[in-house]
């Protein structure tokens, strides 16, 4: 499945299915190391790519996957949001040994969504900031659509600064560690904390050649 959601001058954004997962895992690993280390010639990616691919395969039945492709069909961005069933082991639990149910809420009135696998190509011609906003808007849509919802994520320190600059009310859950070549920090935000950003940039969900908003 590959469903066109947003068209732009230099790229398009699609919702995709599990057939894209290995391509996404490969893109995530290579772009993270490229952004944070620079020279990737000496890095053996295969083990990390396979690890991320297998992890995402365990989540895919409850995930929404979004990718951006340039006019040649090359991947230039991606993000994933997953409805957490409270049983699957999240990256935030494995990497940081953090239990969201203890740190936040364990009431069944609250829902949790994990946002991850975000990356934007370092050399894409499109505005990286606009693409970031559009991908983030798609990922948080199901979260802001419900009250008593929380976003969980792992963010590198630079991305965390950008999110706060864009009025995303994110809070840390603990100290960071090095993951995929960068200083990564466990974070969360409530649905209310995401709504200011969502309302501010809602028009970015409308394709440039259409007045139809993404549902």
Q: Where are the beta strands (DSSP E) in 20-163?
A: 63-70, 75-83, 111-120, 149-156
Mean pLDDT of 126-155: 92
- State the average pLDDT over residues 41-52: 79
Please check whether residue 5 is in contact with residue 33, taking contact to mean a CB–CB distance below 8 angstroms. Answer: no
Per-residue pLDDT, averaged over 88-112, amounts to 91
Please tell me the predicted confidence (pLDDT) of residue 178.
Answer: 73
Q: Stretch 121-134: mean pLDDT, rounded?
A: 78
Cα dist. 30→41, 48, 56 in Å? 10, 10, 16
pLDDT for position 45: 81
3-class DSSP state for residue 122? coil
What is this structure's pTM?
Answer: 0.91
Question: Mean pLDDT for the chain?
Answer: 88
Lowest-pLDDT range of 42-46, 72-76, 138-142, 205-209: 42-46
Question: What pLDDT shows up at residue 211?
Answer: 47
Residue 67's nearest CA partner among 57, 54, 80, 56 is 80
pLDDT for res 181: 63
Residue 72: CB atoms within 10 A of its CB come to 7
Cα separation, 215 vs 212, whole angstroms: 9
Report which of 101, 136, 137, 118 is spatially closest to residue 29, judged by C-alpha positions: 118
- pLDDT higher than threshold 90 for residue 191: yes
Placement of tokens 């419900």 in the chain = 146
- With beta carbons less than 8 A apart as the criterion, state whether 149 and 113 touch: yes
Name the band, by pLDDT with cuts 50, 70 and 90, for residue 15. very high
> Which residues, at least 6 apart from 81, have a Cβ–Cβ distance to it below 8 Å?
63, 64, 113, 114, 115, 138, 139, 140, 142, 143
* Range from 25-29, 102-106, 127-131 that averages highest in pLDDT: 25-29
Report the SS3 class of residue 72: coil
**What phi and psi values does residue 105 have, to the nearest 5 degrees?**
-140, 145
**25, pLDDT greater than 60:** yes
Is residue 212 over pLDDT 70? no
């Amino acid at each position: 499945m590959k469903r066109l959601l947003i068209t732009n001058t230099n790229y398009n954004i699609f919702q995709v299915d599990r057939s894209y997962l290995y391509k996404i895992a490969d893109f995530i690993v290579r772009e993270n190391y490229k952004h944070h280390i620079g020279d990737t010639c000496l890095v053996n990616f295969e083990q990390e790519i396979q690890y991320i691919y297998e992890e995402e395969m365990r989540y895919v039945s409850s995930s929404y996957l979004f990718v951006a492709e340039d006019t040649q069909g090359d991947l230039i961005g991606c993000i994933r949001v997953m409805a957490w069933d409270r049983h699957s082991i999240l990256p935030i639990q494995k990497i940081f040994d953090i239990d969201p149910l203890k740190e936040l809420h364990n009431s069944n009135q609250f829902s949790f969504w994990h946002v991850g696998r975000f990356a934007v190509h370092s050399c894409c011609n499109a505005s990286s900031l606009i693409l970031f906003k559009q991908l983030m808007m798609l990922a948080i849509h199901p979260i802001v659509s419900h009250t008593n919802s929380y976003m969980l994520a792992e963010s590198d320190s630079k991305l965390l600064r950008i999110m706060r600059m864009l009025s995303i009310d994110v809070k840390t859950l603990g100290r960071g560690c090095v993951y995929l070549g960068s200083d990564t920090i466990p974070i969360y935000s409530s649905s209310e904390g995401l709504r200011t950003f969502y309302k501010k940039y809602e028009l970015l969900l409308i394709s440039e050649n259409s007045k139809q908003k993404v549902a």
